[in-house]
Structure 1
Amino acid sequence: MTSPTGPSAGQAQIPRSTPESPWPVRIVSMKVGQWIDRLGELWVEGQITQLTRRGGGIAFLTLRDPAAEVSIEVTCLPAVLDRSEVPLTEGTRVIMRGKFSYFPARGSLSLRVTEVRAVGIGELLARIEQLRRLLQAEGLFDPRLKRTPPFLPGTVGLVTARASAAERDVRKIASERWPAVRIRAEYATVQGPTAVPQLIRALQTLDADPEVDVIVIARGGGSVEDLLPFSNEALCRAIHAATTPVVSAIGHEPDNPLCDHVADIRAATPTDAAKRVVPDVGAELVRVGELRGRGRIALRGWVQREAHGLAGLRSRPALSQPRRIVDSRADEVARLLRDARRDVRRLIDAETATTTHLAARLKTLGPAATMARGYAVVQRVTTDGENPVVRSVAEVEPATQLRVRLPDGAVRAVVMRAERGARVTEAVSPSKEDPK
């Protein structure tokens, strides 16, 4: 692949750079210059951080991005700066029109500016309003996301300028309200082009400290331009991403930068911020005293109510004369016991008479009574021991062994012969046995 190495159309083609055929530095610088030259003119927005006018008719400036630590070198004629409607100083927000130039001898890049416009207040406010709508649409202002600082923070993080009035106010008010409170300060520039990166760095440092319970971002009053860093998108998103509750105390009551909407609490002034995050020990002691007094009154009233109720219970007859109910029921219990005993005796007597009568009838109808009148029970003796009762002459044969039960015992007999219709049965070899 080949590419032109200069503006001249008839210049020779330069072969591709390889380890065997590397480009000289002059060729590399020339090609870089060609690519930069292709950018043409452009508009750039930023903040002036350094402005130097030299006697040679050239002004040197450093233009810095308001949200990041990125800057470029700018050169222009002093007349270009003089034509600005607003005096240009360090920190001024500007829009510049120019073209980049590459200097091969030094290997440096510079923006050659032909027109400079200062960003007006109206335009800044319009951009802030546009950013406000964007952040609100994304939910960064949602009240449901606001966190409540602890009642008594152990350590209060403070982001402010070194030795500023805001720092003095916060420390003074906090120590007056709660002398034991600890404040850890992280200092940052609170206006100008370097403010946003330093503020974000200080905020993230305090947010990473586990001992810091709440962070206060404090700054005194100022113009719209002075408070621009606190409406920066990067700072607002850093506040939203913090895990520690953040209190915004920027300027005075009329000042309303965007970080006030993103922070968990908006304080009108640094003094108000100290009052919001640090409780007043005097007021708390008074409140504790009031609560203790109310507690004593409530406890005394409760004891009196309970004592009155207990006295009412003790005055009732059931508790004042507990034996009275028993005594009044003793006669009734004795009468019921007598009635119960009488009824039980009557029932026992009736059942005894019934049992005696049934026993007599059973004895009269039983075989023992029949045998006592001269009858006997004849059983046929069998080998299995069942000895069935003989009820007919046909049930026995000659030589059958019999057992004859009498009232006072039993005898054994052997059948000699059977006579039908006869009244006497002859028995041989009688023997007396004990009744079974």
Structure 2
Amino acid sequence: MNHNHGLVHGEVGPPAAKTTLPATAMETTAENPWPLRMLSQKLKTHIERVPPTWVEGQVIELNRRNSVTYLTLRDTEAEASFSLMAFNSVMARLELPLEPGSRVVAQLKPELYVKTGRLSMQTRDIRPVGLGDLLARLERLRQALGREGLFDADRKKPLPMLPHRIGLITGRDSDAKKDVIRNASLRWPAVAFEVREVAVQGVNAVSQVMKALAELDGRPDVDVIVIARGGGSLEDLLPFSSEDLIRAVAAAATPVVSAIGHEADRPLLDEVADLRASTPTDAAKRIVPDVNEELTRIGRARQMLDRRVDHLIRVESERLAALRSRPVLSAPATMVASRAEDITRLTQRARNCMTSALHRDADRVGHLKAQVRALSPQNTLDRGYAVVQLPDGSILRDSADAAPDTRLRIRVAVGEVAAKVI
């Protein structure tokens, strides 16, 4: 480097030579920078520490040049891609040549070319993902999520009997969308839809379906959400077995109906959804009732209600007639008259009993009076006897008690006389 001793104050010139360079990038300054080659070398050293990594993706570009094959590998569920480099010795291990659109797993080792600072991904091994591999992977994911309880029947929410607004997540201008709307409207013309058209296959499918699900789940006027797609290959339906989508459906507060593919198609979305429909048409039939069937049921219910009411009125009328025919209601005075006769008869009986008791007691009193009169002193006097009393009023019972000159009172039947003992 050139020294800057001759620079005018305020001018910027090349940095002065340093005897030691900063040990870390954070220690570099404008006055003491790293040479570019040093940054490149340090990046290469750091990148070379990254171990070989197995990744999964989809081949979207493939270009063979002499002894090297250049590939572009894209993530299956997001906008992310890498350029790969594979020698022919690696590609020769494949039983069948790769084609754009193939799903593969590859072991990559990042490398940095120091001279240009270009990062490349050297492919050490690459293997196509077959149908059996995908099925085995889905089964492992199914079992893992099942153990968490995401597929349990007791966590599934019941669908409303008559949803007023249905959220529909489906492909752009797809047959599935037309089937759901047409069949649901034929069954219940008043039903309304809130449609979200999204990608239903490819790298953007999962993110767009999850975004639409979050929007519809946040709307209070949406009563049920239908995720619908027509049939397709296992690879086409893979987005509907995405773990992120499965967890989003499990966390939704609104009931979710899965209507993916045909009867034989069973993505993991069918397991976590609150209702699994075999086809989009089947979903339309199961989320809304048939207006004609409901009107028929209402008619039958009204007829049954009319019969029940008529039967009840007839039974109660007969019961009232039976009650009115009873003597107590047909001639209520009869009961009063019979009770009046009872009262009269009992009253006369009471009077007779009282008269008889009075006569018996009068006779008894007369008899007692006769006895009293027979035993009274007056009755004895009336028979000629007399009662002699001493002056002190006591009865003279012994003549010895009457000394001479004693004055006596002698009571006879009528009156009394005075006497003197001689």
- Name the TM-score, length of structure 2 as normaliser: 0.72
2:284 aligned with 1:285, yes or no? no
Alignment of 1:180-199 (within 5 A): 180-199=190-209
Long gaps (5+) in structure 2? 1-19, 366-422
User: Which residue pairs with 2:340 in the alignment?
Assistant: 330
- 1:319-341, CA deviations, whole angstroms, 9 ceiling, x for partnerless residues? 22222122223222012234445
For 2:23, the equivalent position in structure 1 comes to: 15
Distance 1:221 1:163, change over 3 A: same
Aligned pairs, number: 339
Q: Which residue of 1 aligns with 2:142?
A: 132
User: Structure 1 residue aligned with 2:58, among 47, 72, 86?
Assistant: 47
Letter in 1 for 2:302: R
CA 28–337 in structure 1, closer or farther in 2 if over 3 Å, else same: farther
Residue correspondence of structure 1 range 343-382 to structure 2 within 5 A? none
User: Where do residues 18-417 of structure 1 align in structure 2 (5 Å cutoff)?
Assistant: 18=27, 23-24=33-34, 26=36, 27-48=38-59, 50-51=60-61, 53=63, 59-64=70-75, 66-67=76-77, 69=78, 71-77=80-86, 84-85=94-95, 88=98, 91-102=101-112, 109-340=119-350
SS at match of 1:39: coil
SS in 2 for 1:279: coil
* CA distance 1:348–1:260, change in 2 (3 Å): farther
Preserved contact between residue 41 and residue 99 of structure 1 (Cα < 8 Å): yes
User: What's the TM-score, normalizing by structure 1?
Assistant: 0.70
CA separation of 1:103/1:155 partners in 2, compared to 1, >3 Å: closer, same or farther?
farther
The answer to whether the 8 A contact 2:28-2:34 is kept is no
- Write the distance in 2 (CA, Å) between the matches of 1:90 and 1:322: 104
**Do the aligned residues in 2 keep the contact of 1:155 with 1:184 (CA within 8 Å)?**
yes
User: Residue type of the partner of 2:46?
Assistant: W
Q: What displacement does 1:177 show?
A: 1.0
Aligned partners of 2:210 and 2:245 also within 8 Å: yes
**Contact persistence 2:85–2:120 (CA under 8 A):** no
- Against the structure 1 CA distance between its residues 78 and 318, is the aligned structure 2 distance closer, same or farther, given a 3 Å change threshold? farther
What secondary structure does 1:330 align onto?
helix
1:227-281 per-residue CA deviation (whole Å, 9 max, x = no partner) reads 1111111111111011000000111111111110110000010000011111111
* Amino acid in the other structure paired with 2:128: A
* In 2, Cα distance between equivalents of 1:335 and 1:270: 92
Q: Take 1:107 and 1:341, find their aligned partners in 2: how far apart are those partners?
A: 140
CA distance in 1, matches of 2:33, 2:323: 111
Deviations 1:282-319 (A, max 9, x none): 11111111111111111111111111111111112222
Aligned 8 A contact 1:135 1:141 in 2: yes
Q: Could you tell which deviates more after superposition, 148-157 or 342-351?
A: 342-351
2: CA distance, partners of 1:123 / 1:23? 51
> What letter matches 1:34 in structure 2?
T
Gaps (5+ residues) in structure 1? 1-11, 355-436
CA drift at 1:104 = 6.8
Give the secondary structure class of the aligned counterpart of 1:189.
coil
What CA distance in whole angstroms lies between the structure 1 residues aligned with 2:334 and 2:32?
A: 125
Amino acid at match of 1:47: Q
Counterpart code for 2:48: D
CA distance in 2, matches of 1:114, 1:19: 36
CA deviations 1:190-209 (Å, max 9, x no partner) are 12222211221111111111
Post-superposition CA distance 1:169-192 (Å, at most 9, x none): 011101111112111111221122
